[in-house]
């Protein structure tokens, strides 16, 4: 037995549904294939989630390690009883890296004797991006003025850790100097041998 809704709005709904079905079955009806985006959305919706495109991420520049650099001595000279040891850090890799802070420093004497450990100096610490084959510079300062009864000792090398790196490198110092008394002051790495711009 078929029930027919006699209310006016019921007939309109029934007629509307009939017309839609009639149009869908008509041989001349134009069928538009769903777009790729709608098809993908339908599949995702069935799965129970809507996937949104991930935001584009910027390029992350890795932190420089000690072994990313070739570290060499720059001929220096004393000033007012202090010796200024300037060092060049050249990026020997094929990609940029970033560095920020103070290198770890240990002065080495004859027979691999450890003479002293560096102390940080300054609070203006630039963040540096070092491109392939580019250089940054570091400075170490220590006294070469004899203060009896303390003896001065020849400095033959320096052991270095780049900032935030656990790898060390020993740099020979062929030009020679002498270490007489602490402190051993270490400046932050900078784009110039003059240190960070004040």
Fold adopted by 66-186: Immunoglobulin-like (2.60.40)
**For residue 147, what are the contacts with CB-CB under 8 A and spacing of at least 6?**
180, 181
122-141-157 Cα angle (round to 5): 125
- Could you read off the pLDDT of 45-77 as tens digits, one per residue? 333 333 334 344 568 999 999 999 999 999 876
Please state the domain extents for the chain.
Answer: 66-186
- Could you read off the pLDDT of 162-186 as tens digits, one per residue? 999 999 999 999 887 899 999 999 9
pLDDT of amino acid 79: 67
3-state DSSP call for residue 29?
coil
Tell me, yes or no, if the pTM score tops 0.85.
no
Output the six-digit token pair for 141.
Answer: 């300062």
> Which residue has tokens 């003896």?
151
Q: What are the CA-CA distances from residue 66 to residues 71, 103, 106, 153, 183 (Å)? A: 9, 9, 14, 27, 24
d(CA 35, CA 32): 9
Q: How many CB atoms lie within 10 A of CB 158?
A: 24
Per-chain mean pLDDT for the chain? 77
Q: What are the CA-CA distances from residue 136 to residues 14, 87, 129 (Å)? A: 81, 9, 9
pLDDT of amino acid 102: 97
d(CA 193, CA 87): 8
Output the six-digit token pair for 61.
Answer: 């520049």
pLDDT over 90 (residue 24) = no
């Amino acid at each position: 037995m078929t029930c027919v809704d006699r209310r006016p709005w019921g007939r309109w709904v029934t007629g509307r549904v009939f017309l839609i079905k009639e149009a869908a079955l008509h041989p001349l009806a134009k069928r538009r294939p769903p777009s790729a985006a709608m098809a993908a959305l339908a599949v995702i919706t069935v799965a129970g989630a809507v996937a949104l495109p991930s935001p584009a991420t910027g390029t992350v520049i890795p932190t420089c390690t000690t072994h990313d650099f070739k570290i060499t001595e720059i001929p220096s000279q004393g000033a007012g009883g202090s010796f200024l040891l300037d060092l060049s850090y050249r990026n020997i890799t094929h990609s940029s890296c970033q560095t920020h802070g103070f290198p770890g420093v240990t002065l080495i004497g004859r027979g691999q004797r450890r003479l002293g450990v560096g102390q940080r100096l300054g609070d203006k610490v630039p963040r540096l991006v070092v491109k392939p084959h580019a250089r940054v510079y570091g400075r170490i300062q220590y006294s070469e003025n004899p203060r009896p009864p303390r003896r001065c000792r020849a400095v033959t090398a320096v052991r270095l850790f780049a900032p935030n790196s656990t790898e060390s490198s020993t740099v020979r110092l062929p030009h020679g100097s002498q270490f007489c008394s602490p402190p051993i002051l270490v400046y932050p790495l900078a784009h110039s041998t003059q240190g960070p711009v004040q």
